[in-house]
Structure 1
Amino acid sequence: MNTDCLFCKILAGEIPANRVYEDEYSIAFPDINPQAPTHFLIVPKEHLASQAKALVEHEQLLGHLLVVAANLARSRKLDKGYRVVINTGEDGGQTVHHLHVHLLGGRPMHWPPG
């Protein structure tokens, strides 16, 4: 845990969040600034600053986050499709320096994304 990290504070229960999913490795909750009708953040319980910091030992955790995204999408009936995004670094749009996966759905997604 990083005591200065917003997501670590949520994980510790210091900041409330509507947890829509939780297991031993991750939690998921709605984004406070949703960009789609369905917009969840899937956050690993292990503090990892970004995708750029991922190492081979994080392979199972990264795969787990994608499976959680797929399960959440199924549970929310996003049968027509959805987008999974990991913003990395300042130019990648990352604003919280704790790796997290965005699950967006409920509307058509366009390309390029932005």
Structure 2
Amino acid sequence: MVAALWVPFATLAGVVTSWQVQGIDSDWVDRQQAACRHLPFPKAEYVAAWSGVVLGVSAVVVCVLLARRVRRECGGRLAGTKAGLVAHIGAWAGVLTIPLELFLLYATYSPVDSGPVLGDCG
């Protein structure tokens, strides 16, 4: 089942894309310091932050829908099949990683109090 394999893939991809927010932000600060001026905020950081949350939540939603389908068609539990077990484990991992993804989304939109220090640009 493709849906069962989507769950762990989306969970992992959600964490990876959310984690890219930190790298994009660090690169942006480094570019500002090198240019000695404030640069526009990178839109890629917004895309990465939202992608992480969407992938993480979609993993859990797909797992729930898959479980309902298996229960309706087979009358059994999702974890009773190999593909279902993979989806079940991936969804639980997704539930654990969604708070991280939400925090990084929040951090993307929260204002930076002091801003990047541009250093000695004289």
- Same fold flag (TM > 0.5): no
Structure with greater Cα Rg: 2
What is the TM-score with the length of structure 1 in the denominator?
Answer: 0.30
More RCO (CA 8 Å, sep 6+): 2
Which is helix-richer, 1 or 2? 2
What is the TM-score with the length of structure 2 in the denominator?
Answer: 0.28
